[in-house]
């Protein structure tokens, strides 16, 4: 019913349904609705789903990750940014670091790199929730990936964000070792 209301752009039906906790607490509701919003490129409905508290309570890291990946695959940057601005979604990815480790923020960064989606990568770098919840040690491993795969544009993007540089100060001595590797690799790339 709700998927159909997205297709037919019937916002009122959607709003009435969202008032019913039995509907919004259904397992799998969140990812199914957001997937439909992505396929229909419906920013308004997408934002409504992301802002619903009952749906957010039942959110899993896997669902959040898969929806964000679907935004990347379908080139839906605006929807991607709407999802990133929801702190609960990013918290779920952070929590997965201590659980399965399959649906983390750094895995989402890697997805942007693998698909060569620099604009999505930049959107993540600029997002306060991502900066706040990204584990610096995981991000250090991501920096190594840039180096190994000669992704200089991604590498440069990180170093142009002051908040990310501050995050790296947490790593103190370890970052010095990494810096040596980085500069050695840059010299090899530029020669």
| Domain-embedded: residue 149 | no
> How many structural domains does the chain have?
1
Helix ranges restricted to H, the chain: 2-7, 11-18, 21-24, 29-40, 43-50, 53-57, 61-73, 77-84, 87-96, 105-114, 118-126, 128-133, 136-148, 152-159, 162-168, 172-190
Tokens 């959607």 found at = 14
| Cα–Cα distance measured from residue 34 to residue 67, given in angstroms and rounded to the nearest whole number | 7
Whether 114 maps to a domain, the answer reads yes
- pLDDT tens-digit map of 5-55: 555 556 666 666 666 666 666 656 667 777 888 888 788 878 888 887 777
- Residue 180 falls inside a structural domain: no
Q: Domain of 119?
A: 2-135
Total-model pTM: 0.78
Q: Is residue 158 part of a domain?
A: no
The residues, ordered by sequence, that sit 6+ positions from 177 with a Cβ below 8 Å of its Cβ are none
Residue 146 in any domain: the answer is: no
**pLDDT tens-digit readout, 134-183:** 887 788 778 777 777 778 888 788 877 777 777 766 554 444 455 555 54
Q: Does 166 reside within a domain?
A: no
Cβ contacts of 114 within 8 Å, gap of 6 or more? none
Angle at alpha carbon of residue 185, lines to 182 and 189, rounded to 5° = 135
Q: Considering the domain boundaries, does residue 143 fall inside one?
A: no
* Within-domain flag for 179: no
What's residue 191's pLDDT? Answer: 43
């Amino acid at each position: 019913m709700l998927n159909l209301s997205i297709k037919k752009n019937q916002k009122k039906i959607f709003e009435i349904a969202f008032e019913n906790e039995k509907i919004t607490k259904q397992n799998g509701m969140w990812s199914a609705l957001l997937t439909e919003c992505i396929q229909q490129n419906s920013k308004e409905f997408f934002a409504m789903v992301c802002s619903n508290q009952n749906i957010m309570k039942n959110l899993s890291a896997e669902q959040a990750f898969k929806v964000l990946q679907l935004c990347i695959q379908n080139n839906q940057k605006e929807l991607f940014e709407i999802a990133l601005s929801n702190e609960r979604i990013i918290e779920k990815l952070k929590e997965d670091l201590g659980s399965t480790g399959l649906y983390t923020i750094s895995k989402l960064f890697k997805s942007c790199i693998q698909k060569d989606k620099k604009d999505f990568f930049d959107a993540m770098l600029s997002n306060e929730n991502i900066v706040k919840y990204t584990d610096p040690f995981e991000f250090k491993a991501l920096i190594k990936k840039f180096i190994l795969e000669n992704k200089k544009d991604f590498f440069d993007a990180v170093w142009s964000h002051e908040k990310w540089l501050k995050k790296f100060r947490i790593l103190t001595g370890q970052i010095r070792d990494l810096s040596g590797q980085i500069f050695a690799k840059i010299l090899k790339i530029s020669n």
